[in-house]
Amino acid sequence: MSPRARGVLAAISGLALLLVVLAGFAKLPDFGVYLGPYGTLVDELAPIQRKIPNAITAVNFDYRGLDTMGEEFILFAAVAGLTLVLRKDRRDTTDAPLPSAGLRGRADRSDAIRAFGLAGIAVTIAFGVYVAIHPHLTPGGGFQGGTITSGFAALIFLALGYRPLKRYAPHQRTEPIEAIGAAGYVLVGVATLAAAGAFLANCLPLGASGEFFSTGTIPVINLCVAVEVVAGFVVVFGEFADETRFEVDDEAEVEP
């Protein structure tokens, strides 16, 4: 296909997409008008049926828990695909990777960078874990908190360097943890199927609303998601760090 033909095809496709988007906007309800009875029912029933003040979490990890399991495995598959592609490219390439600033250790970082980086790691982990483990009480959850928590790996790389990242979060450790988190979700579903006759049925004691140990299986499923998300993103950070690595003599590299 000639460049001119490709341009015409792209213009026609873009125009068709624009018309669809404009038609969708034209049929949107007025601002403040909610036309979803399902959401109203969840708001009314979730505190009663699941003893949970956060209806969104009830939807994610209970009423539509199967959908959330699919979303978790989308992330799992994306991480696996990225890892396979990058590792294959690194094996096949014959050119040396470009140098990346800060891979040689202490010599490339000031004391301030290391100090603020270490403080950032502590704050990131603390805040991320808090967001991850309280979704049944406050906004948050395994996806949000796990993503935040995984930022510690990027901070280790930026503040300390490549070798500390690989020492504290090697792929030999993070990949099995990611798999355990993903498999845990399925195992909870299988266990509830055996115990209650329905996949992902909430069959654990619900406790009292507002308590940390409450809402049945919801915190258990959320924990599986958090583990998978943290480990998955740490794997990704590790792969990106590998992409920037360059070889130096052992005598020349300064250990952090």
In a domain, 153, yes or no: yes
pLDDT at 241 over 70: yes
In a domain, 134, yes or no: yes
66 token code pair: 């199967």
Q: What does pTM read for this prediction?
A: 0.80
Residue showing tokens 């654990």: 204
CA distance 164 to 84: 23
In a domain, 113, yes or no: yes
- Neighbouring residues of 235: CB distance < 8 A, sequence distance ≥ 6: 79, 83, 171, 174, 175, 178
Question: Which tens digits make up the pLDDT trace of 139-184?
Answer: 999 999 999 999 999 999 999 989 899 999 999 999 999 999 999 9
Q: Which of 188, 161, 182 is nearest to 231 (CA)?
A: 182
In a domain, 237, yes or no: yes
Percent of the chain with pLDDT over 90: 73
207 within 8 A of 213, measured Cβ to Cβ: yes
What pLDDT was estimated at residue 35? 80
In a domain, 7, yes or no: no
Place 92 in a pLDDT band, splitting at 50, 70 and 90: confident
| Domains: count for the chain | 1
In a domain, 127, yes or no: yes
In a domain, 161, yes or no: yes
Q: What is the 3-state secondary structure (H, E, C) of the chain?
A: CCHHHHHHHHHHHHHHHHHHHHHHHHCCCCCCCCCCHHHHHHHHHHHHHCCCCCHHHHHHHHHCHHHHHHHHHHHHHHHHHHHHHHHHHHHHCCCCCCCCCCCCCHHHCCHHHHHHHHHHHHHHHHHHHHHHHCCCCCCCCHHHHHHHHHHHHHHHHHHCCHHHHHHHCCHHHHHHHHHHHHHHHHHHHHHHHHHHCCCCCCCCCCCCCCCCCCCCCHHHHHHHHHHHHHHHHHHHHHHHHHHHCCCCCCCCCCCC
- The domain of 225 spans 64-88+101-246
What pLDDT was estimated at residue 256? 43
Question: Which tens digits make up the pLDDT trace of 22-35?
Answer: 999 998 888 888 88
Place 2 in a pLDDT band, splitting at 50, 70 and 90: confident
CA distance 119 to 244: 25
In a domain, 8, yes or no: no
